[in-house]
Amino acid sequence: MQILRWVYIIASLIATSIELVEEPGNGAEKKKKAIGLIQEGLDILVEDRIIPKWLAGVFSNETFLGWLIDVMVSLANNNGFFAKTEAV
């Protein structure tokens, strides 16, 4: 059950990072910022011995993170989490 706790912590980090960079438009730039925040957060979680290094390595992969961000943003958009505004 420990792995589920770790994954929950990481999912919370990803969701928080997405929310922090959310603004209208420029999805690629927002994704890049979110990936940077997530990778920094994972490093801190490893340093503080909250998650194991091997799991941080899995979730630090930029391709995997990009996919996870796309999935989470899609779910958030479909559920009305982000307010719809016109991109400038």
User: For the whole model, what pTM was predicted?
Assistant: 0.85
Of residues 4, 1, 6, 5, the one with CA closest to residue 54: 6
Tens place of pLDDT for every residue, the chain, 88 residues? 899 999 999 999 999 999 999 888 888 999 999 999 999 999 999 999 999 999 999 999 999 999 999 999 999 888 877 666 655 5
Place of tokens 């925040």: 37
pLDDT of residue 24: 84
Residue 86 lies in a domain: no
pLDDT of residue 85: 60
Residue 31 lies in a domain: yes
pLDDT of residue 1: 85
Residue 8 lies in a domain: no
For residue 47, the enclosing domain spans 14-78
Residue 18 lies in a domain: yes
Residue 87 lies in a domain: no
- Number of domain units in the chain: 1
Three-class secondary structure of residue 54 per DSSP: helix
Residue 4 lies in a domain: no
pLDDT of residue 83: 64
Place of tokens 């999912």: 11
